[in-house]
Structure 1
């Protein structure tokens, strides 16, 4: 018989063995995990591969429109407000703000003693100058006309009818106060101001170097958490902490973005510990999922299909619902996309403020595998309303989508087979190049002879429900190509009520009530099959466990203040 002492030692070692996969075990104290040790300052380096481009398109915040450029710009520059890692509006240069009773006047109070990263003072005049510069016709920004369009007379400046917004809708009553006047009451205005085109840039550097100022960012230029230490075009850009940053300093002492010719080259560099993260080749995805360095993060990106409400048979809500409910989205996500996407009924994606976890599909359930019986019932009801006795009497249906990606080809073929099997409806696929598809989609607006049925994706421009709902389905907006609320169907009045609810939500200053209104509108849009959402795309990547403190989010951004919590361990 073993002694009590032996039993205690055996129990301690057993507990250590059970805990081994999660943490190291100290035999002297089996319940105390060994703490991760922070690497010394000289090893606080984070290396990120860039594989989708050969160089940054620009480092000018007013001009940036591609993800790699904006990721670099986020390191150097900042604005009045930005998103935190929960994608909520957070103060940056602005310490506080308020919307006046008129709904169009916004007053921002800046943090005290702000400076650029070269130590020069930063005042409200610098922010006003930067916003005005982005909207100047000579700047030729493609993003400012979108994100800064709410500012009063922005359209007049862009058209060259007035010389400036300074002293007009951009006012600087004192060095720490900026007043912005908008053209309408828009509660989502702060979301628009998170765009890089509103970030502050140092006028003295632009005066000295003009459009080439981005080649001299080692001298200054921004007010973000980092400063450029080295930039070799097409090879590497290296950032070091901005010692003049207005909030807590970054812990990483060097952040490098290194350009690679291909994702495979970057993947091999990751395996040899030359970089700290990498995309996952599809051929290795199954094995990669088992590692502690694997990450899969839902992105603000929805793949969906649209049906033209002005073209038969999709002017009938029951027929649209039948098409939606015939699909097994879970099966397509698994067998076509190999689980790199999340099947969904949602328009507003997971990870967004206002995401409705309780949203139901058109059959009133959260089911993602289809509802064959209900789909068949709805199709029969819809055909009776149209006076058709069989599906052979339905107009020819053509599904148009962008060619070039095998997964979309497979998805469309799977959908066509499903609709034929479940609904006995024949559909013809029409793959076209992407630009042709966009032209045809635009041409469907208010067009009874326009495109009938198409597939597209929407990648969020800013994480506010307005971007996903009002911008897509409100009356007269450019993206309302399916003609929601602008048709002659029997549910038109209901659709227009949803549009009015969106207008009200857009202007509602009560954040909680605003999100609730958007959720109610989204549910009715899903019931109406304004979109037929299919899947939410995810980012799948490997990142070394040696880098800790990163909070992943749907925009793939690291907010400025988060860098204070990110560091390397040994």
Structure 2
């Protein structure tokens, strides 16, 4: 599931600094019931806890006078360029380096960034951006309308293979440019160095975020550009240069990513000169306790919270996030095209038990593809998929899958054996899912690989089920747009004309109240003909060293929006 703004993908039970948690192993100590809906653990409150012993910071941390270190849970893939990276870890690496024209605040509202303001015409089809006069790239060159036009142009290039769907912006002349029928994009008008007007031929609620995304320097990234060939950019993937608060310094695979403050940043250089992502893998808690890092995210559960509380210098934040954990279903497989089979997979998995066991109650079963913090949340009247193995068995019977001699269902000589991909060998979902699915006649076959290899397998269609989480969700369309039939080939093969119609209606109106009605209908269709298995909405658990001030967190940005204000306590 790849989404707008950052196009991030992160694995279930492992999230990232700017998005959620660092993916520490969850402790499984709850009741492990095999049937029936397990009892829900009492809901966990959002709260901030001050350090019990703020003066107990380890000496090695106190000696870092000009450096802020945060964990990154998994080694990035190495493509540090917005619109071109494939994983959320690369997105995290890129985020401090690149700014967009617009930003998102803690309420999920659009706010100015490189653009000091913008206007949208009454018909919702023309956008005019006014770039800040003091906006500069880290090399000191000004951010101009030419850079914005260049960025939008390469996203229309026929050789572009990234995850940004620029067609959603509906820029007039975009398709002609992509097909080589025009040398420029007709709808892009450069008024002057700081002003650019973009005309579209239809309304799309997310056009602003797409048009206002990260800006690339034409002088830097445009060297060597020839229409129809973007391969030259690969040489710059690990030499990123943007207009964000930090400049890229060095990437040491499997160890760390280093940055230095951008003295040319439009909003003033960050207060801390050096920023480092330390790649933690499974060592986040140890690094935090030892003072090797100043900020770390963890799988939200009671055990990890208690361990963090025992670290006297830890300021702790627990809050409800917007990411959604889910299992992708490969709808390209013939046996997955039957909605009854996909419904059975949903009914047959005890999702509440996963929350109680893996997250010890620090989450909530997801019934619709949007988190409760969103204005669009409404699950009233939506099929809930409460754990019901009897219902799952009935659906599989109706779909023609009959129980064989060994208890595994069969149809047309094929056994119902499903390959489940995970990036964690200790994925706490697996023992629950194996037992649940065995009960209804399905043999679950887990396969493990590092996250980048997992993504490659999914892209090639070499899976039945794969465990993921969305990035932070800015808009309800972010989650569902991938399941439009036009995206079937590049996503998981799902096609549903009824859902297509509702997705388009949600995209093509700017009236939020009307959108609420549309998405409520959409969520009912999504559940009746599910493209995926929704798992849960999770709490976010982070620890911040008491030697650090200014870290602010919210469901839409993590700590990204406060990065320039982070400082070392005096």
TM-score band by shorter chain is 0.5 to 0.7
Correspondence for 2:474 among 449, 454, 463: 463
Partner Cα distance (1:179, 1:101) in 2: 14
Correspondence for 1:329 among 337, 340, 351: 351
Spell out, residue by residue over 1:202-255, the C-alpha distance to the aligned partner (whole angstroms, 9 max, x if none): 6279669996788988xxx64333456x5476665232253551x4x3662323
Measured after TM superposition, the shift of residue 109 of structure 1 is 3.0
Spell out, residue by residue over 1:92-113, the C-alpha distance to the aligned partner (whole angstroms, 9 max, x if none): 1223334435554322233455
Q: How does 1:306-455 map to 2 (within 5 A)?
A: 306=329, 315=338, 321=343, 324-335=346-357, 337-339=358-360, 342-350=363-371, 353-356=374-377, 358-359=379-380, 362-363=383-384, 370=386, 372=388, 376=390, 395=411, 397-402=416-421, 405-408=424-427, 411-418=429-436, 421=439, 425-431=440-446, 434=454, 435-436=456-457, 438-440=459-461, 454-455=465-466
Match of 2:545 in 1: 544
Contact 2:369 2:534 in 1 (8 A): no
Match of 1:448 in 2: none
Partner Cα distance (1:539, 1:85) in 2: 15
Q: Which runs of 5+ in 1 are unaligned?
A: 1-20, 25-39, 442-450, 487-495
TM-score by length of 2: 0.68
Contact 1:359 1:523 in 2 (8 A): no
Match of 1:201 in 2: 217
1:404 to 1:164, Cα distance in 2 relative to 1, 3 A: same
Match of 2:515 in 1: 514
Secondary structure (helix, strand or coil) at the match of 1:179 reads: strand
Partner Cα distance (1:64, 1:415) in 2: 31
What's the Cα RMSD here? 4.9
Correspondence for 2:259 among 235, 238, 247: 238
Contact 2:437 2:443 in 1 (8 A): no
Relative contact order, higher structure (CA 8 A, sep 6+): 2
Measured after TM superposition, the shift of residue 179 of structure 1 is 1.6
Contact 2:83 2:164 in 1 (8 A): no
Partner Cα distance (1:105, 1:534) in 2: 39
Partner Cα distance (1:353, 1:141) in 2: 32
Contact 1:299 1:553 in 2 (8 A): no
Measured after TM superposition, the shift of residue 523 of structure 1 is 3.4
Measured after TM superposition, the shift of residue 549 of structure 1 is 3.3
1:559 to 1:259, Cα distance in 2 relative to 1, 3 A: closer
Correspondence for 2:204 among 172, 177, 186: 186
Contact 2:271 2:567 in 1 (8 A): yes
1:155 to 1:309, Cα distance in 2 relative to 1, 3 A: closer
Q: Which has the larger radius of gyration?
A: 1
Secondary structure (helix, strand or coil) at the match of 1:469 reads: helix
Measured after TM superposition, the shift of residue 164 of structure 1 is 3.7
Match of 1:223 in 2: 243
Task: Identify, as 1 or 2, the structure richer in helix.
Answer: 1
Q: Which runs of 5+ in 2 are unaligned?
A: 1-48, 53-61, 226-231, 449-453
Are 1:566 and 2:566 matched, yes or no?
Answer: yes
Match of 1:278 in 2: 296
Partner Cα distance (1:386, 1:51) in 2: 43
Partner Cα distance (2:261, 2:457) in 1: 44
